[in-house]
Chains A and B, each alone.
Chain A
Amino acid sequence: DQQVKQNSPSLSVQEGRISILNCDYTNSMFDYFLWYKKYPAEGPTFLISISSIKDKNEDGRFTVFLNKSAKHLSLHIVPSQPGDSAVYFCAAPSAGGTSYGKLTFGQGTILTVHP
């Protein structure tokens, strides 16, 4: 049962344009979401997060939007740069008991930004 889903395996964008990466979740108990970025042969690094008490969180060129009723979140990168080319994962932590902090990840979306 895939509780966090990224249905687009890849996305190709021109430099300077907006990149929009999408993520859907099925577990209504999730109330905090994170985006990670991963380059080949490196571990994922944290990018941005959002709590369910908000519907938007911005950090420089990166903005995450949360639509709780649709169980959907998206990551916007504006403007996109070639260095943003990487795999992007959305993730949500389990809540309760000893499972605090256990992250469930989506399948990832490969973003390619062309110069």
Chain B
Amino acid sequence: DVKVTQSSRYLVKRTGEKVFLECVQDMDHENMFWYRQDPGLGLRLIYFSYDVKMKEKGDIPEGYSVSREKKERFSLILESASTNQTSMYLCASSLWGGRLNTEAFFGQGTRLTVV
């Protein structure tokens, strides 16, 4: 059974803290993604990685960075958490190899609250 696992379901952090969200997939997928979900805005892409150490900015990268040192692990870093980063964060992975392999598998999500 395919699996994308996010390290925390719920997190509460203080403004200004550095926050790490971890994601691990066991499907040997090349692509990994971080999205955030907010009501009325859908899922917005923060960062995308198509290979180890490779990353591309998504639609809303400001205030975030990522790290992919191993194929199975993709970390999202909030350099200095702010209240407008309170959201549901979703990690996903997919095969690289063309349009027909673009089904992405998602983790269960991390609900982050910044106070």
- A positions within 8 Å CB-CB of B: 6, 9, 31-32, 34, 36, 41-46, 49, 51, 89, 91, 93, 95, 98-108
Contacts and interface: CB of A to CB of B under 8 A. Distances in A.
Nearest to A110: B39
B11 interface: no
Contacts of B115: none
Given A32-B100, A103-B104, A44 B90 contact: yes
Scoring A51, A99, A100, A105 by chain B CB atoms within 10 A of each residue's CB, the highest score goes to A100
Contacts of A36: 106
Interface string B84-115: 00000010101111111111111111010000
Interface of B: 4, 9, 31, 33, 35, 40-45, 48, 50, 54, 56, 58, 90, 92, 94-109, 111
17 contacts: A6-B42, A36-B106, A41-B9, A46-B103, A89-B42, A98-B50, A98-B54, A99-B48, A100-B97, A100-B98, A101-B104, A102-B31, A102-B45, A103-B33, A103-B45, A103-B102, A105-B43
Nearest to B29: A101
Contacts of A106: 42
Contacts of B98: 100
Contacts of B40: 9, 107
A100 B99 contact: yes
Nearest to B55: A98
Nearest to B93: A101
Q: Which 9 A-B pairs have the closest CB atoms?
A: A43-B106, A93-B102, A107-B42, A105-B43, A32-B99, A101-B31, A101-B102, A105-B42, A101-B94
A102 B33 contact: yes
A32 B50 contact: no
A44 to B, nearest CB: 5
Scoring B98, B102, B107, B108 by chain A CB atoms within 10 A of each residue's CB, the highest score goes to B102
Contacts of B94: 101, 103
Contacts of A93: 99, 102
